[in-house]
Amino acid sequence: MMPARTAPYKSLFSVAAALSLPVIAPDAMADFIGDSKARIEMRNHYINRDFRQDNAAQSKAEEWAQGFTARVESGFTDGTFGFGLDALGELGLKLDSSPDRRGTGLLPFGPNSHEPADEYSELGLTGKLRVSKSVLKLGTLQPLLPVVSYNDTRLLGSTFAGGMVTSQEIDGLSANAGRLTKANLRDSSSNDDIGYLNANSDHFDFGGGTYAFNPQLNVSYYYSKLEEIYRQQFAGLVHTQALGNGFSLRSDVRYFDSRGDGAEKAGRIDNRNFNSMFTLSQGAHKVSAAYQQLSGDSAFPFLRGGDPYVVNLVTFNTFTRADEDSWQLRYDYDFAAQGIPGLTFMTRYTDGRHVKTNTVDNGREWERDSDIAYVIQSGVFKNVSLRWRNVTFRSGNGLNTAIDENRLIVGYTLALW
């Protein structure tokens, strides 16, 4: 993977060229080309964040930008060893921003002038090798695993560079292992050393898997190590139970144990994180309750450029500070039951207490979110998605952050072949 600073538009249209290189015999190329697919994901994102606390560095952050993500995925060549190549091109364009309104996470900005960039982009390539039911990928990766999960909550998704093996040789078991060395943040064109907070590491190793006992029950275990910073173990369980009369209960239980590694470049890491969510569904309705409990002397660690795999990761906050206990109540409704397919609604409230920082001993924070989304069902704009996200976040007892925020997101995916 390499940044494309001087010719950003090429990242959208040159990715297909990489797949046409004549390096494989023509008779082995049938599945390589025939099973290939390509698409462009378009996202128009507007964020307006008002800072309500006293002495805020700026009164608001407000930006509007357009993102394009082109994905080309080949099939595999024939034979015992199947080879393939994927390409990812990302381009972000500024539509509206200014130095006094920057900082939403949509656009990068200069360290001195704070002038938001007019554009930023990236081109990433991933080689892949298939043997039996195992696939090795080398290059640009966007993993979604308990110990490493890329961030896709702004204009463009973050990426990592490294290698990963995914194996399904044993029925019911999906196993993963790999090493990551670089990270490209969601609002950046550069590949930086992987790390946590402001500390960099040489590499991040991980391994584990998920075993499905049956369609209703699976368990997971993962181990990871960010060299010289932290070690982490994860265990999880997901179970779905039909209760009769159209009701079902989904239980999602997760536990992390995080400790320091080697020189502990980011400071002492000592954290246990138990979190769980239970969701009762019936028809168009879903009601969820979540609880997250952290203990130990530090906050919950996760890779810079990624997201924490916790149930109280909500729109603005993660509720992963040291010693924090948090709970969440959530309600979802699908208006297809009212004859309006494509229209959905979600609202939730999350409350965190007993937060500890270097300067706070018993902080409190809470967040209220509401989402209304609609996917157009027919006509010229079929499959265009529209979403409005409203956020209120407050913290006190020494934390003292207060924001009101609205996000408007329009998305569309165009299949090229």
Answer for the pair 302, 269: CB distance below 8 angstroms, yes or no.
Answer: no
Q: What is the pLDDT of residue 26?
A: 60
For residue 96, being part of any structural domain is answered with yes
What are the angstrom distances between the C-alpha of 323 and each of 133, 146, 276, 328?
42, 21, 16, 17
For residue 326, being part of any structural domain is answered with no
- The low-confidence residues of the chain, meaning pLDDT below 70, are 1-28, 30
Q: What is the pLDDT of residue 113?
A: 86
Q: What does the pLDDT look like over 128-139, one tens digit per residue? A: 999 999 999 999
Q: What is the reported pTM?
A: 0.91
For residue 151, being part of any structural domain is answered with no
Q: What is the pLDDT of residue 38?
A: 97
Going by C-alpha positions, the residue among 271, 272, 289 that lies closest to residue 280 is 289
- As for how many domains the chain has, the answer is 1
Query: Which range of residues forms the domain containing residue 80?
Result: 1-131
For residue 322, being part of any structural domain is answered with no
Would you give the distance in Å from CA 358 to the centre of its chain?
28
For residue 305, being part of any structural domain is answered with no
For residue 53, being part of any structural domain is answered with yes
Going by C-alpha positions, the residue among 176, 182, 185 that lies closest to residue 144 is 176
Q: Is 162 left (phi over 0), alpha (psi -120 to 50) or beta?
A: left
What does the alpha-carbon distance between residue 89 and residue 416 come to, in Å, rounded to a whole number?
14
For residue 158, being part of any structural domain is answered with no
Render the burial of 33-61: b for 16+ CB within 10 Å, e for the rest: eeebebebbebbbbbbbebeeeeeeeebb
For residue 391, being part of any structural domain is answered with no
Q: Provide the 8-state DSSP code for 28.
A: G
Q: What is the pLDDT of residue 19?
A: 41
Kindly state the helix (H) or strand (E) to which residue 10 belongs, with its residue range: helix 10-13
Q: Is 153 helix (H, G, I), strand (E, B) or coil?
A: coil
**Biggest distance spanned by C-alpha atoms of the chain:** 69
